[in-house]
A and B are shown apart, each in its own frame.
Chain A
Amino acid sequence: SAVISQKPSRDICQRGTSLTIQCQVDSQVTMMFWYRQQPGQSLTLIATANQGSEATYESGFVIDKFPISRPNLTFSTLTVSNMSPEDSSIYLCSAPIMGDITDTQYFGPGTRLTVL
């Protein structure tokens, strides 16, 4: 398995502001994934972040709203821009571990975001 940490664990923000969420993995990984989990819902993939290339966004998510950085093989950030109350969710990052042929994803503890 892998240890994945996220910062912050929770935050309360005002509408119109931006929040950057950090995700750190304790080993090198090629792919990192960012998910949104709205209250009581399942996980929805926002984007896939590969080191050295642009993130690949899923339908309904755009780079201007959710810019992602992936500066190295152990770290990624997701920014939630120009926030509105509809962005209140848990945001999770995940990564499959190199050498695991099943590419099982391991998850960070999540960031609970509340937008007022």
Chain B
Amino acid sequence: AQTVTQSQPEMSVQEAETVTLSCTYDTSESDYYLFWYKQPPSRQMILVIRQEAYKQQNATENRFSVNFQKAAKSFSLKISDSQLGDAAMYFCAYRGFGVGSGTYKYIFGTGTRLKVLA
């Protein structure tokens, strides 16, 4: 069974600095997707970035980028120029394949709470 591990329960970063959140996963599948979601206190889960496993190039979205190491099964999120609005819980997720055609289940890590210090 697939697992997703986030080993950092909490991280802090100074405003305008860079922070990296780690995520490792375990799977026997060769093709899959990985995601980072952000959950601010409002509870809304917001997609930050996604990575297709078959792509070697690391995904980037403005200030957010990933370091995807497929062989090491590592998928870290780098936030550059951190802003106060980046403060949230960040969840790493793996998209596996459920039972039955067309069902795709997500497996979430336990989350990392990011604090941004002014």
Chain A contact residues, CB within 8 Å of chain B: 1, 30-31, 33, 41-43, 45, 48, 50, 56, 90, 92, 94, 96, 102-107, 109-110, 112
Say yes or no: B102 contacts A31, CB within 8 Å: yes
How would residues 31 to 60 of chain B score, 1 for a CB under 8 Å from any chain A CB and 0 otherwise? 001010100001111110010100000000
A45–B2 CA distance with the chains assembled, in angstroms? 14
Say yes or no: B52 contacts A102, CB within 8 Å: yes
> Which of these binds chain A: B16-24, B62-70, B72-80, B104-112?
B104-112
Distance to closest chain A CB from B81 (angstroms): 24
| Inter-chain contacts of A105 with B (CB < 8 A) | 106
Interface check B118, CB cutoff 8 A? no
A30 with B102: in contact, given A43-B91, A109-B43 (CB under 8 Å)? yes
